[in-house]
Structures are given as C-alpha cells and as structure tokens.
Amino acid sequence: MLRIRPALPADYPDFARLFPELTAHHAPPSEARWTAEMVATTLIADEGGAAVGYLYGQPLVDTAYIRHVVVAPHARGRGVGKALLDTAGEGFRARGLTRWCLNVRPDNVAALRLYASVGMAPIFESVFLKFADWADIDALPADPPGVTAGTCAPDEDARAEAELGLIPGTLADARARAARTMRVLRDGVRFVGAGVLDPDVPGITPFAVATPSLAGALLRALRPFRRPDLAHVEVRAEANPPLAAVLEAAGATVGLRTLRYEGAL
C-alpha cells in the first residue's frame, strides 16, 4: 500500500539512490546537507516499507518552490508522483502558501502531464550557461562605474528580492543554508544584482542582474568563494535571453533549457 510520509534523516540512502533519476549533472547532496537542509521539507512515497519516490520542496514566503520530484522507474505511471504532489500541496496550503513553482525540461512528457494535472502551467524558459573556467568570466563587460558589490543585511532581503523580481523569500532561504555565499550589486540606492553561489555544484542560483552588462560584476564578486578544485561554474538565465546572449558571447556554453511551471496552490 502506498503511503506518503515525512522524510527522516535515515532515509538518506534511499534519497541518494533515487536522486540520479533527476539526471542532474552533479552528485547527490551530502548526507550532512540532506539532514540539515532537506529532510524537514521532503516527503517519501513509501510502498510496503520501501521508498519508491520522494518530493523535496522549499516553502518560501507565499510560494512553494518544488526542487525534486522523483519516482523509481519500476513504480512510475500509477499515480505515485501525483500522490506526492497532492500531499505536498495540502501541506503547503496548511502553512498558508498560495502558489507553487518548479523547473522542468520541456521534453519530460511525464513530468509536464503531472504538473498540468495539479494546475501548473509554463510561464517562462530558463537557460543554464556554463563557464568551463572561472577565468573565462573576465571576458564579460568590466564593472560599470557607480556599481558596488558587497553583502546584504537580512533586513534588506525583501527589498532586494522585490527590486530584482525574485520570488519573495529566495534570499532569506539561501542565507539560512550553510556553505553558500550571497553577494549583491548596488548602484547607490537600488539593488541591481544578487547571486548565491553554491560552491559544491558549482553554480549560482539565483543569478539576477538588472541589465546583462552587470553579469561580470556579479560573477567577479562571487569568484573568491569558489572551490579551488572545481574550475567551472554554471549560472541560470531565467526568462532573460539578453543575459544568456551576453554570457554566451563571453564563452559560456549553453546547456540545459528548462520551463518554469507555476500555479495556484
């Protein structure tokens, strides 16, 4: 019998076994990260004591950001994914959240049908761009005069999110996670950039700039916090073809394209 239940720290081996089904280009998050950052907002699809799927989401201020939905290959096509989303949706609604969103590859037919079945629809396309070496970012435009890079105080997060069009709660959520570095760009009064580097991926999400010409300044502000053993870095240009074009012109290679799906809870 299928039971959707909250995850436990001891579910890590099942999480690590199922994670590769996402075909992410990086290793599963460590057990320490699972325990500290993921367990609390993960559901397990349990069939007769065996984990056959999981859903990991991040509740932000009013939006739930679904990060992973995975069903084991042998358990697909019989409602496990739908049951995970339905249960997650109930939980998020009970916390007062009103919207949910996620990123999905446009050719993932099963996932697209699943998300449409819970009322989500596509709103924009994102492109992942990879610099093979951090040194390559020096080909991006020089830092514009009057723009400064630095940190952001917790009580400024909401204003930075609003000025940069980020989902409310994005920066506060990133701040609560270990081993990430956040840097912002300001033009004096306004926030004109914000990025959060996860050095273990290595990637920068969110990566938000008011104009594409600021991409270099934001990347250069985060570069000192890279892992020296990982040469490359990836950023996601969200609904922003001009940013993708500037990064590509500087030598980044276009990787995965994803659709942002969003809907009311």
Ligand X SMILES: CC(C)(COP(=O)(O)OP(=O)(O)OC[C@H]1O[C@@H](n2cnc3c(N)ncnc32)[C@H](O)[C@@H]1OP(=O)(O)O)[C@@H](O)C(=O)NCCC(=O)NCCS
Binding site for ligand X (CB under 6 A): 21-22, 69-71, 76-82, 104, 108-111, 113-114, 117
Q: For residues 119 and 97, what is the distance between their CA atoms, to the nearest angstrom?
A: 15
Provide the minimum distance between the beta carbon of 102 and ligand X in the complex, in angstroms, as a whole number.
Answer: 6
For ligand X, the closer of residues 158 and 256 by Cβ is: 256
Which CB contacts under 8 angstroms, 24+ apart, belong to 10-17?
11/39, 11/42, 11/44, 11/51, 11/54, 14/44, 14/51, 14/54, 15/42, 15/51, 15/54
For ligand X, the closer of residues 119 and 144 by Cβ is: 119
For ligand X, the closer of residues 78 and 190 by Cβ is: 78
Provide the minimum distance between the beta carbon of 221 and ligand X in the complex, in angstroms, as a whole number.
Answer: 30
Provide the minimum distance between the beta carbon of 162 and ligand X in the complex, in angstroms, as a whole number.
Answer: 27
Closest alpha carbon to 65 in 196, 209, 166: 166
Give me the residue whose beta carbon is nearest to ligand X. Answer: 81
Q: Which residue type is seen at 191?
A: F
For ligand X, the closer of residues 102 and 152 by Cβ is: 102
Q: For residues 43 and 12, what is the distance between their CA atoms, to the nearest angstrom?
A: 12
Provide the minimum distance between the beta carbon of 196 and ligand X in the complex, in angstroms, as a whole number.
Answer: 21
